Structure 1
Protein backbone atom coordinates (compact mmCIF):
# COMPACT_ATOMS: atom_id res chain seq x y z
CA UNK A 1 0.00 0.00 0.00
CA UNK A 2 1.26 3.52 -0.71
CA UNK A 3 2.10 5.60 2.37
CA UNK A 4 -0.72 7.88 3.57
CA UNK A 5 -0.61 11.39 2.18
CA UNK A 6 0.63 14.02 4.58
CA UNK A 7 -1.85 16.56 5.79
CA UNK A 8 -1.45 20.23 4.93
CA UNK A 9 -0.40 20.88 8.52
CA UNK A 10 2.26 18.16 8.36
CA UNK A 11 3.61 19.55 5.08
CA UNK A 12 3.74 23.04 6.55
CA UNK A 13 5.52 21.88 9.70
CA UNK A 14 8.06 19.93 7.64
CA UNK A 15 8.72 22.93 5.38
CA UNK A 16 9.08 25.33 8.31
CA UNK A 17 11.49 22.98 10.07
CA UNK A 18 13.59 22.63 6.90
CA UNK A 19 13.68 26.41 6.42
CA UNK A 20 14.72 27.02 10.03
CA UNK A 21 17.44 24.39 9.74
CA UNK A 22 18.67 26.01 6.54
CA UNK A 23 18.70 29.45 8.17
CA UNK A 24 20.66 28.11 11.15
CA UNK A 25 23.25 26.45 8.92
CA UNK A 26 23.71 29.59 6.84
CA UNK A 27 24.11 31.83 9.88
CA UNK A 28 26.81 29.51 11.25
CA UNK A 29 28.59 29.40 7.89
CA UNK A 30 28.22 33.00 6.72
CA UNK A 31 26.83 35.15 9.53
CA UNK A 32 23.47 36.84 9.89
CA UNK A 33 24.31 39.78 7.63
CA UNK A 34 24.69 37.43 4.66
CA UNK A 35 21.37 35.70 5.36
CA UNK A 36 18.70 36.27 2.71
CA UNK A 37 15.31 34.72 2.09
CA UNK A 38 16.56 33.55 -1.28
CA UNK A 39 19.55 31.59 0.06
CA UNK A 40 17.45 30.10 2.87
CA UNK A 41 14.92 28.83 0.34
CA UNK A 42 17.65 27.50 -1.93
CA UNK A 43 19.46 25.69 0.91
CA UNK A 44 16.20 24.07 2.04
CA UNK A 45 15.14 23.12 -1.48
CA UNK A 46 12.29 25.61 -1.70
CA UNK A 47 11.66 28.92 -3.41
CA UNK A 48 12.15 32.34 -1.85
CA UNK A 49 8.40 32.76 -2.13
CA UNK A 50 7.65 30.00 0.33
CA UNK A 51 10.02 31.54 2.88
CA UNK A 52 8.14 34.83 2.56
CA UNK A 53 4.81 32.99 2.73
CA UNK A 54 5.68 31.22 5.99
CA UNK A 55 7.68 33.91 7.78
CA UNK A 56 6.94 37.22 6.08
CA UNK A 57 10.51 38.50 6.18
CA UNK A 58 14.01 38.02 7.49
CA UNK A 59 13.23 39.57 10.89
CA UNK A 60 10.37 37.16 11.56
CA UNK A 61 12.46 34.21 10.36
CA UNK A 62 15.28 35.11 12.74
CA UNK A 63 12.83 35.57 15.61
CA UNK A 64 11.27 32.16 14.97
CA UNK A 65 14.72 30.57 14.82
CA UNK A 66 15.68 32.20 18.13
CA UNK A 67 12.55 30.88 19.83
CA UNK A 68 12.77 27.41 18.32
CA UNK A 69 16.47 27.06 19.18
CA UNK A 70 15.99 27.95 22.84
CA UNK A 71 12.80 26.07 23.60
CA UNK A 72 13.55 22.55 24.74
CA UNK A 73 17.35 22.93 24.54
CA UNK A 74 17.58 21.04 27.83
CA UNK A 75 15.19 18.08 27.64
CA UNK A 76 13.20 16.81 30.60
CA UNK A 77 12.50 20.13 32.31
CA UNK A 78 8.96 20.82 31.14
CA UNK A 79 7.28 18.56 33.69
CA UNK A 80 9.43 19.53 36.67
CA UNK A 81 7.98 21.94 39.24
CA UNK A 82 9.98 25.09 40.04
CA UNK A 83 12.69 24.50 42.59
CA UNK A 84 16.24 23.44 43.26
CA UNK A 85 16.01 20.18 41.32
CA UNK A 86 14.89 21.99 38.17
CA UNK A 87 17.60 24.63 38.59
CA UNK A 88 20.42 22.11 38.99
CA UNK A 89 19.10 19.91 36.20
CA UNK A 90 19.02 22.93 33.92
CA UNK A 91 22.66 23.77 34.68
CA UNK A 92 23.80 20.17 34.29
CA UNK A 93 21.68 19.57 31.19
CA UNK A 94 22.75 22.79 29.48
CA UNK A 95 26.41 21.86 29.82
CA UNK A 96 25.67 18.33 28.64
CA UNK A 97 23.92 19.60 25.53
CA UNK A 98 26.93 21.77 24.64
CA UNK A 99 28.79 18.57 23.83
CA UNK A 100 26.42 17.92 20.92
CA UNK A 101 25.22 21.41 20.07
CA UNK A 102 23.49 21.63 16.69
CA UNK A 103 23.63 24.29 14.00
CA UNK A 104 20.46 26.05 15.14
CA UNK A 105 21.76 26.39 18.69
CA UNK A 106 25.09 27.65 17.40
CA UNK A 107 23.15 30.14 15.30
CA UNK A 108 21.26 31.30 18.41
CA UNK A 109 24.54 32.09 20.17
CA UNK A 110 25.91 33.93 17.16
CA UNK A 111 22.70 35.94 16.83
CA UNK A 112 22.79 36.68 20.57
CA UNK A 113 26.20 38.30 20.20
CA UNK A 114 25.12 40.14 17.04
CA UNK A 115 22.14 41.57 18.96
CA UNK A 116 24.51 43.79 20.95
CA UNK A 117 25.15 45.94 17.88
CA UNK A 118 22.05 45.32 15.76
CA UNK A 119 18.94 47.21 16.95
CA UNK A 120 16.59 44.95 14.98
CA UNK A 121 17.86 41.86 16.82
CA UNK A 122 18.17 43.34 20.30
CA UNK A 123 14.45 43.19 21.29
CA UNK A 124 14.21 39.52 20.28
CA UNK A 125 17.15 38.47 22.42
CA UNK A 126 16.27 40.71 25.35
CA UNK A 127 12.90 38.95 25.44
CA UNK A 128 14.50 35.51 25.17
CA UNK A 129 16.99 36.30 27.96
CA UNK A 130 14.25 37.66 30.19
CA UNK A 131 12.24 34.45 29.74
CA UNK A 132 15.35 32.42 30.66
CA UNK A 133 16.00 34.56 33.76
CA UNK A 134 12.34 34.44 34.78
CA UNK A 135 12.43 30.63 34.93
CA UNK A 136 15.60 30.74 37.02
CA UNK A 137 14.15 33.36 39.38
CA UNK A 138 11.12 31.14 39.83
CA UNK A 139 13.37 28.20 40.75
CA UNK A 140 15.28 30.25 43.32
CA UNK A 141 12.11 31.72 44.82
CA UNK A 142 10.54 28.26 45.13
CA UNK A 143 13.73 26.90 46.72
CA UNK A 144 13.81 29.70 49.28
CA UNK A 145 10.14 29.08 50.07
CA UNK A 146 10.62 25.36 50.68
CA UNK A 147 13.86 25.86 52.63
CA UNK A 148 16.22 23.99 50.30
CA UNK A 149 18.56 26.93 49.73
CA UNK A 150 19.93 29.84 51.74
CA UNK A 151 17.10 32.34 52.33
CA UNK A 152 19.59 35.12 51.69
CA UNK A 153 19.94 34.15 48.03
CA UNK A 154 18.82 36.95 45.72
CA UNK A 155 16.71 35.46 42.90
CA UNK A 156 17.34 38.12 40.26
CA UNK A 157 21.10 38.14 40.88
CA UNK A 158 21.34 34.35 40.77
CA UNK A 159 19.40 34.31 37.50
CA UNK A 160 21.72 36.84 35.86
CA UNK A 161 24.81 34.98 37.08
CA UNK A 162 23.61 31.56 35.90
CA UNK A 163 22.68 32.83 32.45
CA UNK A 164 26.00 34.67 32.19
CA UNK A 165 28.00 31.62 33.20
CA UNK A 166 26.21 29.17 30.90
CA UNK A 167 26.21 31.49 27.90
CA UNK A 168 29.87 32.36 28.51
CA UNK A 169 30.86 28.70 28.54
CA UNK A 170 28.78 28.12 25.39
CA UNK A 171 30.49 30.96 23.54
CA UNK A 172 33.93 29.69 24.54
CA UNK A 173 32.92 26.26 23.26
CA UNK A 174 31.76 27.81 19.99
CA UNK A 175 34.96 29.82 19.54
CA UNK A 176 37.42 27.07 20.49
CA UNK A 177 35.74 23.65 20.87
CA UNK A 178 38.93 21.94 21.98
CA UNK A 179 39.39 24.23 24.96
CA UNK A 180 36.07 23.44 26.66
CA UNK A 181 35.06 19.96 27.82
CA UNK A 182 31.39 20.22 28.83
CA UNK A 183 31.36 16.80 30.48
CA UNK A 184 34.20 17.66 32.83
CA UNK A 185 32.47 20.92 33.74
CA UNK A 186 29.10 19.42 34.62
CA UNK A 187 29.95 18.34 38.14
CA UNK A 188 32.17 21.28 39.05
CA UNK A 189 29.67 23.91 37.89
CA UNK A 190 26.75 22.17 39.61
CA UNK A 191 28.79 21.90 42.82
CA UNK A 192 29.71 25.57 42.55
CA UNK A 193 26.02 26.51 42.56
CA UNK A 194 25.25 24.09 45.38
CA UNK A 195 27.85 25.82 47.52
CA UNK A 196 26.84 29.30 46.43
CA UNK A 197 23.21 28.61 47.31
CA UNK A 198 23.99 26.96 50.63
CA UNK A 199 23.04 23.42 49.54
CA UNK A 200 24.84 20.46 51.18
CA UNK A 201 27.38 18.84 48.84
CA UNK A 202 26.16 15.89 46.79
CA UNK A 203 29.36 13.96 47.56
Structure 2
Protein backbone atom coordinates (compact mmCIF):
# COMPACT_ATOMS: atom_id res chain seq x y z
CA UNK A 1 0.00 0.00 0.00
CA UNK A 2 1.25 3.47 -0.84
CA UNK A 3 2.27 5.33 2.34
CA UNK A 4 0.31 8.36 1.12
CA UNK A 5 -2.91 6.37 0.83
CA UNK A 6 -5.14 7.11 3.82
CA UNK A 7 -6.00 4.08 5.93
CA UNK A 8 -9.61 3.05 5.71
CA UNK A 9 -11.41 3.19 9.04
CA UNK A 10 -12.77 -0.06 10.37
CA UNK A 11 -16.45 -0.55 11.03
CA UNK A 12 -15.79 -0.40 14.78
CA UNK A 13 -13.91 2.90 14.40
CA UNK A 14 -16.72 4.39 12.33
CA UNK A 15 -19.28 3.26 14.89
CA UNK A 16 -17.24 4.71 17.77
CA UNK A 17 -16.82 8.03 15.97
CA UNK A 18 -20.53 8.17 15.24
CA UNK A 19 -21.42 7.44 18.85
CA UNK A 20 -18.99 10.07 20.14
CA UNK A 21 -20.53 12.65 17.80
CA UNK A 22 -23.99 11.76 19.10
CA UNK A 23 -22.78 12.01 22.71
CA UNK A 24 -21.26 15.42 21.95
CA UNK A 25 -24.61 16.55 20.57
CA UNK A 26 -26.43 15.07 23.57
CA UNK A 27 -24.13 16.91 25.98
CA UNK A 28 -24.82 20.21 24.21
CA UNK A 29 -28.58 19.71 24.26
CA UNK A 30 -28.78 18.42 27.84
CA UNK A 31 -26.69 21.40 28.97
CA UNK A 32 -28.94 23.80 27.03
CA UNK A 33 -32.41 22.30 27.51
CA UNK A 34 -32.26 19.70 30.28
CA UNK A 35 -32.66 15.94 30.09
CA UNK A 36 -36.40 15.89 29.39
CA UNK A 37 -36.25 18.27 26.42
CA UNK A 38 -33.22 16.65 24.76
CA UNK A 39 -35.04 14.20 22.49
CA UNK A 40 -33.35 11.48 20.47
CA UNK A 41 -34.52 13.15 17.26
CA UNK A 42 -33.06 16.52 18.27
CA UNK A 43 -29.78 14.84 19.23
CA UNK A 44 -29.56 13.24 15.78
CA UNK A 45 -30.25 16.60 14.14
CA UNK A 46 -27.66 18.42 16.28
CA UNK A 47 -25.07 15.78 15.38
CA UNK A 48 -25.82 16.32 11.69
CA UNK A 49 -27.09 12.78 11.18
CA UNK A 50 -30.49 11.19 10.71
CA UNK A 51 -33.08 11.57 13.46
CA UNK A 52 -33.17 7.81 13.93
CA UNK A 53 -29.44 7.21 14.33
CA UNK A 54 -29.38 7.73 18.14
CA UNK A 55 -31.98 4.98 18.51
CA UNK A 56 -29.95 2.73 16.21
CA UNK A 57 -26.79 3.18 18.29
CA UNK A 58 -28.16 3.38 21.82
CA UNK A 59 -31.61 1.79 21.66
CA UNK A 60 -33.28 4.27 24.00
CA UNK A 61 -32.88 7.72 25.46
CA UNK A 62 -32.25 6.27 28.92
CA UNK A 63 -29.33 4.23 27.55
CA UNK A 64 -27.88 7.26 25.76
CA UNK A 65 -28.16 9.43 28.89
CA UNK A 66 -26.55 6.67 30.97
CA UNK A 67 -23.66 6.50 28.52
CA UNK A 68 -23.30 10.30 28.57
CA UNK A 69 -23.27 10.31 32.38
CA UNK A 70 -20.48 7.73 32.43
CA UNK A 71 -18.47 9.66 29.85
CA UNK A 72 -18.90 12.97 31.68
CA UNK A 73 -17.89 11.47 35.03
CA UNK A 74 -14.90 9.72 33.43
CA UNK A 75 -13.76 13.06 32.03
CA UNK A 76 -14.05 14.62 35.48
CA UNK A 77 -12.08 11.72 36.97
CA UNK A 78 -9.36 12.03 34.31
CA UNK A 79 -9.18 15.77 34.89
CA UNK A 80 -8.90 15.25 38.65
CA UNK A 81 -6.08 12.74 38.15
CA UNK A 82 -4.24 15.17 35.86
CA UNK A 83 -4.70 17.90 38.47
CA UNK A 84 -3.23 15.59 41.10
CA UNK A 85 -0.19 15.00 38.92
CA UNK A 86 0.30 18.75 38.52
CA UNK A 87 -0.19 19.67 42.15
CA UNK A 88 1.35 16.67 43.90
CA UNK A 89 4.78 15.66 42.50
CA UNK A 90 4.77 12.08 43.84
CA UNK A 91 1.13 11.02 43.95
CA UNK A 92 1.90 7.50 45.12
CA UNK A 93 3.73 8.86 48.19
CA UNK A 94 1.45 11.84 48.88
CA UNK A 95 -0.61 12.24 52.03
CA UNK A 96 -4.31 11.51 51.72
CA UNK A 97 -5.22 15.03 52.86
CA UNK A 98 -3.11 16.53 50.09
CA UNK A 99 -4.80 14.24 47.57
CA UNK A 100 -8.25 15.34 48.74
CA UNK A 101 -7.31 19.02 48.57
CA UNK A 102 -5.81 18.68 45.10
CA UNK A 103 -8.79 16.69 43.79
CA UNK A 104 -11.28 19.28 45.04
CA UNK A 105 -9.24 22.09 43.57
CA UNK A 106 -8.92 20.31 40.23
CA UNK A 107 -12.68 19.75 40.07
CA UNK A 108 -13.48 23.39 40.80
CA UNK A 109 -10.81 24.63 38.40
CA UNK A 110 -12.45 22.64 35.61
CA UNK A 111 -15.71 24.47 36.24
CA UNK A 112 -14.10 27.86 35.76
CA UNK A 113 -14.41 27.19 32.03
CA UNK A 114 -16.79 24.22 31.83
CA UNK A 115 -17.27 22.10 28.72
CA UNK A 116 -20.69 20.89 27.57
CA UNK A 117 -20.05 17.53 29.26
CA UNK A 118 -19.34 19.30 32.56
CA UNK A 119 -22.56 21.30 32.36
CA UNK A 120 -24.49 18.21 31.28
CA UNK A 121 -23.16 16.29 34.29
CA UNK A 122 -24.57 18.88 36.69
CA UNK A 123 -27.88 18.98 34.79
CA UNK A 124 -28.13 15.17 34.89
CA UNK A 125 -27.29 15.20 38.59
CA UNK A 126 -30.17 17.61 39.16
CA UNK A 127 -32.43 15.39 37.07
CA UNK A 128 -32.04 12.64 39.69
CA UNK A 129 -33.68 14.80 42.39
CA UNK A 130 -37.39 14.15 41.57
CA UNK A 131 -38.69 11.07 43.39
CA UNK A 132 -39.79 9.34 40.20
CA UNK A 133 -36.70 10.23 38.18
CA UNK A 134 -34.80 7.42 36.50
CA UNK A 135 -31.32 8.47 35.45
CA UNK A 136 -29.57 5.23 36.32
CA UNK A 137 -26.38 6.14 34.54
CA UNK A 138 -26.04 9.20 36.74
CA UNK A 139 -26.68 7.20 39.89
CA UNK A 140 -23.95 4.75 38.85
CA UNK A 141 -21.57 7.66 38.13
CA UNK A 142 -22.38 9.11 41.56
CA UNK A 143 -21.52 5.86 43.29
CA UNK A 144 -18.21 5.47 41.49
CA UNK A 145 -17.31 9.05 42.34
CA UNK A 146 -18.21 8.52 46.01
CA UNK A 147 -16.04 5.41 46.12
CA UNK A 148 -13.14 7.50 44.85
CA UNK A 149 -13.62 10.17 47.51
CA UNK A 150 -13.95 7.55 50.25
CA UNK A 151 -10.76 5.87 49.05
CA UNK A 152 -8.84 9.14 49.39
CA UNK A 153 -10.19 9.66 52.91
CA UNK A 154 -9.17 6.14 53.92
CA UNK A 155 -5.70 6.73 52.48
CA UNK A 156 -5.37 9.81 54.66
CA UNK A 157 -6.56 7.94 57.73
CA UNK A 158 -3.98 5.23 57.12
CA UNK A 159 -1.12 7.70 56.68
CA UNK A 160 -2.20 9.83 59.64
CA UNK A 161 -3.01 13.04 57.75
CA UNK A 162 -6.81 12.75 58.17
CA UNK A 163 -8.66 12.36 61.46
CA UNK A 164 -9.39 8.69 62.25
CA UNK A 165 -12.73 9.45 63.92
CA UNK A 166 -14.39 10.40 60.61
CA UNK A 167 -16.53 8.00 58.59
CA UNK A 168 -15.00 7.89 55.10
CA UNK A 169 -18.31 7.35 53.27
CA UNK A 170 -19.97 10.23 55.09
CA UNK A 171 -17.11 12.58 54.30
CA UNK A 172 -17.25 11.42 50.67
CA UNK A 173 -20.93 12.47 50.50
CA UNK A 174 -20.06 15.87 51.97
CA UNK A 175 -17.17 16.43 49.55
CA UNK A 176 -19.23 15.44 46.53
CA UNK A 177 -22.04 17.70 47.67
CA UNK A 178 -19.58 20.54 48.17
CA UNK A 179 -17.94 20.44 44.75
CA UNK A 180 -21.11 19.73 42.78
CA UNK A 181 -23.11 22.28 44.75
CA UNK A 182 -20.51 24.97 44.13
CA UNK A 183 -20.34 24.05 40.45
CA UNK A 184 -24.15 24.13 40.09
CA UNK A 185 -24.44 27.46 41.89
CA UNK A 186 -21.82 29.17 39.75
CA UNK A 187 -23.11 27.64 36.54
CA UNK A 188 -26.47 29.20 37.41
CA UNK A 189 -24.96 32.62 38.17
CA UNK A 190 -21.27 33.03 37.43
CA UNK A 191 -21.25 36.60 38.78
CA UNK A 192 -22.01 35.62 42.37
CA UNK A 193 -18.35 35.47 43.33
CA UNK A 194 -14.90 34.80 41.95
CA UNK A 195 -14.00 31.12 41.56
CA UNK A 196 -10.42 31.62 42.74
CA UNK A 197 -11.75 32.89 46.05
CA UNK A 198 -14.09 29.90 46.30
CA UNK A 199 -11.23 27.50 45.64
CA UNK A 200 -9.02 29.10 48.30
CA UNK A 201 -11.81 29.00 50.89
CA UNK A 202 -12.56 25.35 50.10
CA UNK A 203 -8.93 24.48 50.72
CA UNK A 204 -9.02 26.12 54.15
CA UNK A 205 -12.32 24.46 55.07
CA UNK A 206 -11.14 21.02 54.04
CA UNK A 207 -7.92 21.36 56.00
CA UNK A 208 -9.78 22.62 59.07
CA UNK A 209 -12.37 19.82 58.93
CA UNK A 210 -10.22 16.85 57.99
CA UNK A 211 -6.66 17.40 59.16
CA UNK A 212 -5.59 15.26 62.06
CA UNK A 213 -4.38 17.55 64.86
CA UNK A 214 -0.86 17.13 66.08
CA UNK A 215 -0.64 15.28 69.36
CA UNK A 216 0.62 17.46 72.19
CA UNK A 217 4.21 16.89 73.10
CA UNK A 218 4.77 15.47 76.55
TM-score (norm 2): 0.83
Equivalent residue, structure 2, for 1:196? 209
Distance 1:180 1:132, change over 3 A: farther
Tell me whether 72-81 or 162-171 shows the greater mean CA deviation: 72-81
Tell me how many residue pairs correspond in the alignment: 200
Equivalent residue, structure 2, for 1:163? 176
Q: CA deviation at 1:126?
A: 2.7
- Unaligned runs of at least 5 residues, structure 1: none
Distance 1:169 1:147, change over 3 A: same
| Cα distance in 2 for residues equivalent to 1:123 and 1:14 | 24
Equivalent residue, structure 1, for 2:111? 98
TM-score (norm 1): 0.88
CA RMSD of aligned residues (A): 2.2
- Unaligned runs of at least 5 residues, structure 2: 86-90, 214-218
Q: Which of 78, 81, 85 does residue 77 from structure 1 map onto?
A: 81
2:164 is aligned with 1:139: no
Tell me whether 180-189 or 162-171 shows the greater mean CA deviation: 180-189
**Higher Cα Rg, which structure:** 2
Per-residue CA deviation, residues 11-46 of structure 1 (Å, 9 max, x unaligned), is 222211110111111122222222221111111011
Equivalent residue, structure 2, for 1:29? 32
Q: Which of 3, 7, 12 does residue 4 from structure 1 map onto?
A: 7
